């Protein structure tokens, strides 16, 4: 284009003759995007709460013991001890949506299949909207890498930030919070600085 005026005219012409329509369809209104994000976060919070709910264990069958005909029947029954591992709860709210990694004095039962490095983190503030309120406690597992559509905890210095995980058109994972509005990279970070959130308690 010769100058700005020529470029402006070319864009207007393309708009009027419909040439821009296929491209404009991919431009999302920011407010619509935030609305979808809030709805998705609320949905994730519900799914996480279901995952973290205690599942009733199925008792193992009784095992008969071989014996002589003169002896009374003896049956071995499985042990009833099903003690869950306790996770220490950390977390105190800091400015800018960060969470201080200090003990709260509480513990929760660890969900099944979490790594030995897992810990619990009190959110402190509703940085992801109403779907994950400030009193919620999330289970963070450094043994699992975040996936798109889930939640993650990202370490910034000695503090943590809980973010919703998304993926861009290039396949790069990133995270964001709503209050405050922050975007943080996930791919490319040191593995010790990012962990998947695998459960949430409300």
Strand, coil or helix: what is 187? coil
CB 157 within 8 A of CB 170: no
Task: Assign 73 to helix, strand or coil.
Answer: coil
- Asked if 137 contacts 200 with a C-beta cutoff of 8 angstroms, the reply is yes
The structure's pTM equals 0.60
Spatial separation of the C-alpha atoms in residues 52 and 108, rounded to whole Å: 11
Q: Domain 83-202 is of which CATH architecture?
A: Ribbon (2.10)
Q: End-to-end CA distance of the chain, in Å? A: 58
How many Å is the Cα radius of gyration of the chain?
26
pLDDT per residue rounded down to tens, the chain (202 residues): 677 777 778 778 877 887 777 666 656 566 666 677 777 777 777 777 666 554 444 444 444 444 445 544 434 344 344 557 899 999 999 999 999 999 999 999 998 889 999 999 999 999 998 889 999 999 999 999 999 999 999 999 999 999 999 999 888 999 999 999 999 999 999 989 999 999 999 8
b/e per residue, 22-34, with b = 16+ CB within 10 A? eeeeeeeeeeeee
């Amino acid at each position: 284009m010769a100058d700005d005026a020529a470029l402006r005219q070319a864009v207007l012409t393309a708009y009027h003759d419909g040439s821009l329509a296929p491209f404009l369809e991919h431009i999302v209104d920011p407010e619509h995007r935030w609305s979808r994000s809030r709805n998705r976060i609320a949905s994730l919070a519900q799914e996480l709460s279901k995952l973290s709910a205690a599942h009733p264990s199925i008792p193992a069958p009784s095992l008969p013991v071989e014996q002589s005909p003169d002896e009374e029947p003896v049956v071995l029954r499985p042990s009833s001890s099903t003690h869950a591992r306790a996770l220490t709860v950390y977390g105190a709210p800091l400015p800018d949506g960060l969470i201080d990694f200090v003990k709260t004095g509480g513990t929760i039962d660890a969900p099944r299949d979490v790594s030995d490095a897992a810990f619990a983190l009190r959110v402190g503030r509703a940085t992801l909207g109403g779907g994950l309120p400030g009193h919620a406690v999330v289970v963070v597992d450094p043994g699992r890498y975040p996936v798109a559509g889930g939640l993650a905890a990202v370490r910034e210095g000695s503090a943590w930030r809980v973010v919703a995980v998304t993926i861009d058109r290039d396949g790069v994972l990133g995270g964001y919070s709503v209050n405050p509005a922050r975007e943080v990279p996930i791919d490319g970070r040191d593995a010790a600085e990012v962990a998947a959130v695998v459960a949430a308690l409300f």
